[in-house]
Amino acid sequence: MDILLVDDNLLMQQLIARFLGDLGYQIGIAGRADDAITLARSGPPRLFMIDMHLPDLDGPEALHALRAIPDCADTPAIAISGMDEHDVRHVLTRDFAEYLTKPIDLDVLQATVERYLGGDHAHSVG
């Protein structure tokens, strides 16, 4: 798995997974932190994308739990949220490499993912 997307919003899951999947990335999807931990243990991803508000943990707590998995200790993480920049500063930790706001700009999403995973998976869409 290239990317583990952790977001409880089904529309965001579908949009991000389809877009990145069309670019050639393998996406794992979890709606809760505990599901993400199970997925990460079964096959560590190369990148985390984590929503800041999950039903069971907030984003920083979810990242902390995921990073406790030995093969995931150094996995880069991108925070995603609909919160405004002022509110985000209160929940983000320096453990997140990037922050993307919802609604997600797909060009920014692609560029951000390629920065961490390279563009070798990517190909032109449409």
Quick one: pLDDT at residue 101? 86
Answer yes or no: is 124 within a domain. no
Where do runs of H (alpha helix) occur along the chain? 10-22, 33-42, 59-67, 85-91, 106-117
For residue 18, what pLDDT is reported?
97
Stretch (H or E) spanning 100 = strand 98-101
pTM of the model: 0.89
Tokens 């069971």 sit at which residue?
56
* Of 96, 62, 57, 61, nearest in space to 79 by CA: 96
Please report whether residue 13 resides in a domain.
Answer: yes
pLDDT given at position 124? 39
Q: How much is the pLDDT for 123?
A: 45
- Does 28 fall in a domain? yes
Domain total of the chain: 1
Residue at 105 is within a domain: no
24 conformational bin, left if phi > 0, alpha if psi -120 to 50, beta if neither: left
In a domain, 44, yes or no: yes
Question: What does the pLDDT read at residue 86?
Answer: 61
* CATH number, residue 69: 3.40.50.2300
pLDDT one digit per residue (tens) for the chain, 126 residues: 999 999 999 999 999 999 999 999 999 999 999 999 999 999 999 999 999 889 999 899 999 999 999 999 999 999 998 866 666 665 566 788 888 888 899 999 999 999 999 875 544 343
Residue 87 is predicted with a pLDDT of 61
Q: Is residue 126 part of a domain?
A: no
Q: Which pair of structure tokens corresponds to residue 106?
A: 């797909």
Question: Is residue 120 in some structural domain?
Answer: no
Q: What is the pLDDT of residue 99?
A: 87
Q: Is residue 22 part of a domain?
A: yes
Its domain, for residue 59, covers 3-100
| Cα 14–Cα 16–Cα 17 angle in degrees, nearest 5 | 65
Question: What pLDDT shows up at residue 121?
Answer: 54
